[in-house]
Each structure stands twice: as C-alpha cells, then as structure tokens.
Amino acid sequence: MILSSHDRRLLLGPLNKNNAILVQILGICSALAVTAKMEPALVMGISVTAVTALSSVILSLLRDAIPTRVRIIVQLVVVSALVIIIDQLLKAFAYDVSKQLSVFVGLIITNCIIMGRIEAFALANKPWPSLLDGIGNGLGYAFILLIVAFFRELLGSGTLFGLPVIPGACYRWGYANNGLMILPPMALILVGIVIWIHRARNKDLIEP
Amino acid sequence: MENLINIFIRATFIDNMIFAYFLGMCSYLAVSKTVKTSFGLGVAVAFVLVITVPINYLINTYLLSPGALAWLFDGGSTIDLGYLSFIVFIAVVAAVVQLLEMIVEKFAPALYNQLGIFLPLIAVNCAIMGASLFMQEREYAGVAEAFSFALGSGAGWLLAIVGIAAIRERVTYANIPAPLRGAGITFILTGLMAISFMSFLGISL
C-alpha cells in the first residue's frame, strides 16, 4: 500500500462513517433527481468526483493567496470553470446522458459537498490530502447515488444500465414493474431508508 | 395574462422545486426545525429568485444565447457565448445575495441574526441556480414569463419549507425508531408530501 494510514482514512472515511450524503446531509440537491437510472447516476457521480477533487487541489494551492472576505466568490469561479469544462466534455462525448442530466450538470456548481469540502478541508490543508479528501467524498457521493439508482431502476424499469435483468417469465406470471419507483417521491423515501439502515449499523450517529 | 398565471401555478404546484426536482434540499433540511425561521428563509429565497431570474433572463437573451449579440455590432449573430452561462449566472446570484445580506443587516437586524449563516448560503442554494438554468432550458418568451416562473418557484419553495417545518414541530413528540430520528424521518416525510403533491399532476394547463 503506497498510502499511509492517515491518507487511507481520508480516502475511505467518506465511504462509510463520514459519508457526505448520509451523515452530513449535504449534496442532496442535485443528487436525487438523477437516480431514476444507473447510467446518469454513474456519470453524475464521476463528474462530481472530478470537480470535488480538482477544485480541492486548486483552492488548496491558492489558500494563502485568497483574502477571507472574497473567498466564496473565488471558490464559485473556480468551481464553475471546472463545471463548464465537464459540461463541454459531456456534450462532446456523451451527448445523450448530457441531455438526460439537463440542468443538473450546471447544478454541480451549487452542490453543497464541493463547497463544504473546500471550506472545511481544502482551505486549511496541503494539496495532496485535499486531493484524497476530494476523491473520497466524491466517491462516497457516487456510492449512494448508485445504491439508490440500483433499486429505482431494478424495481421501476426491471433493467440495470438499460439492460433487462428480470426474466420475461416473471412478467408472464404476473410480475409488474413498480412505476412509482421512477417518480421523484421514491428517491426521497429510499434515501430515508438508506439513512435508517446506516444509522442502525452505526449507533453513534443516531440523533438525540 | 392567462399564460402568466399558468406558468405561476405550474411552477408552484406541479413542478415544485422541492418535490419534483429536489432543489434547495440542503437548507430545506437544515433550517426546517421551526416554522418561524423557515418562513424567514423561504421569503428570502423567493425574493432572491424574483430578482435573479429576470436579470439572468435578460443577460441570457441579449448577451449569451447563440446570435444574441446581433443588436450590438455587425457579425454579432455568429457569436455563441452559451458556454459562459454557468459562471455568469452564479456571479449574478452571488452579487444579489451579497446585496440582500447588506440590506437585511441594515434594516432588519433581528431577521439577520435569526438566519445567521444561511443568509449568505442562499448563494449556493440549488433552487436559485436551478431556476435560472430551467429558465434557460425552457426558453420563456419574455421577461414577464421569467418573472412569473420565478415568483411561482419561490412560492412553491416557501410552501414546502413551511409545510415540513410545521410537520417536524409535531413529529418531535412522536415515538420514532432511534436510527430514523432527524434526517431519516424528514426524508420519508418529504417523500410522502411529494406523493400528495403528485395529485396536482392531473391539472391540465
């Protein structure tokens, strides 16, 4: 293992105990709307990971040069420049997914996870730990997106990544896709259930 | 006029920012513990929406969209600055929020202290950026329509946050399984509210 144990904790912590969505309740805004299918959820997860990691490094390098009073504007400029790059890349190489994500690519700018990690970590740490922290939090976000999208696509459309997985025989025997899973309310309820399971397994996270 | 009312009702009930698009969830979940504060935040968000969306509409129509610069100089119709829209929109939002913060601090210090950190954080509230991006995507036909859309979105957001705050005030006294307390039950409650809002889908406008 190349990484020291401290580095590994930065990278892997957000996948479980420090998960941004489940524990800090950040980044819900643009997360839930893209989870009706696996494919957009995966693309969104990768995009957010890239933006979080790169913006953390850039702002960590700039941290001594930014006056505290104007830091929010500087952060927004850096993040939105990165998001513009991602948006152009998606339009060039994955046009269909980019259409499905519609405004939610632009909304990566206001994703609370990115601003949260910059404020809480990158502005006080060196570039290398900031990079690991950014990647870790991005992956933690992508992980939850994929869990929610897995259940919504499997139960709602009977497919995974667009490929049918439920055998045709089941449909002939009377199984039907649950259309409610595709609609927005089920995303909220599924996240609620994921939080429930996560907290039942980590008792110290239970709110008083 | 009828068209404007339709856009307002559609934005408030059918395409509700929270229940249909999950926009602005961060502050929605964090501030919705009491009705009073959540009402203050809801009004502030609606106010910022009503100012920023029309401004961004004008910028988008006359400066950024393909061929929008034709009125400025010859050959302007070949220029497409569309890729700049993210950065321009967020700059407008941040500037308006800064302005609002100064105004509220001067004229309503009580509300300013009550909202605390969440007032400057309106700048990164997804509902506001989201409304500007939806305005761009849906291509409204004039500044009045954009204004009506912003007003409807703001009203819908206010309605949602006040509603969940009222429910949460009651839920405090309920016997909820320990791991579900706080965030978990709020998500499920929001999901149930969203299901009830789906009944508005039947309205044809």
Q: Say whether pLDDT at B50 is over 70.
A: yes
Residue A159: per-residue pLDDT: 82
Please answer yes or no on whether A87 and B86 come within 8 Å at the CB atom. Answer: yes
Residue B159: per-residue pLDDT: 92
Residue A2: per-residue pLDDT: 60
Q: Collect all residues of chain A within an 8 Å Cβ-Cβ radius of residue B88.
A: none
Q: How confident is the model at residue B23 (pLDDT cuts 50, 70, 90)?
A: confident
Domain ranges of chain A: 5-148
In this structure, chain A runs to a length of 208
How many CA atoms, within 13 angstroms, populate the side-chain half-sphere of residue B175? 0
Predicted TM-score of the model (pTM): 0.84
CA angle at residue A183 from B188 to B151, to 5 degrees?
A: 85
Q: Say whether pLDDT at B151 is over 90.
A: yes
Rounded to the nearest angstrom, the gap between the alpha carbon of residue A200 and the centroid of all alpha carbons in its chain is 22
Residue B163: per-residue pLDDT: 92
3-state helix, strand, coil in chain B (%, to 5): 80, 0, 20
Q: What is the mean pLDDT of chain A?
A: 84
- Predicted confidence (pLDDT) per residue in B155-172, tens digit: 999 999 999 999 999 988
Rounded to the nearest angstrom, the gap between the alpha carbon of residue B173 and the centroid of all alpha carbons in its chain is 31
Chain B closest CA to A153's CA: distance in Å?
Answer: 18
* CA–CA separation, B163 and B142 (whole Å): 32
Q: How confident is the model at residue A34 (pLDDT cuts 50, 70, 90)?
A: confident
Residue A204: per-residue pLDDT: 77
Residue B198: per-residue pLDDT: 85
CA angle at residue B128 from A27 to B89, to 5 degrees?
A: 105
- Predicted confidence (pLDDT) per residue in A144-155, tens digit: 889 999 998 888
Q: Say whether pLDDT at A29 is over 80.
A: no
Task: Give the least confident one: A7-11, A111-115, A129-133, B188-192.
Answer: A7-11
Residue A49: per-residue pLDDT: 92
Percent of chain B with pLDDT over 90: 17
Q: Which of A107, A110, A183 sits opposite B198 (nearest CB)?
A: A183
Q: Which of A84, A112, A191 sits opposite B26 (nearest CB)?
A: A112
Rounded to the nearest angstrom, the gap between the alpha carbon of residue B13 and the centroid of all alpha carbons in its chain is 13
Q: Which of A29, A76, A203 sits opposite B24 (nearest CB)?
A: A29
* CA–CA separation, B163 and B106 (whole Å): 29
Q: Say whether pLDDT at B125 is over 70.
A: yes
Residue A63, burial from CB neighbour count under 10 angstroms (0-12, 13-18, 19+): middle
Residue A208: per-residue pLDDT: 66
Do A35 and A41 contact (CB within 8 A), yes or no?
A: yes
Do B40 and B111 contact (CB within 8 A), yes or no?
A: yes
Looking at residue A64, the DSSP 8-state letter turns out to be T
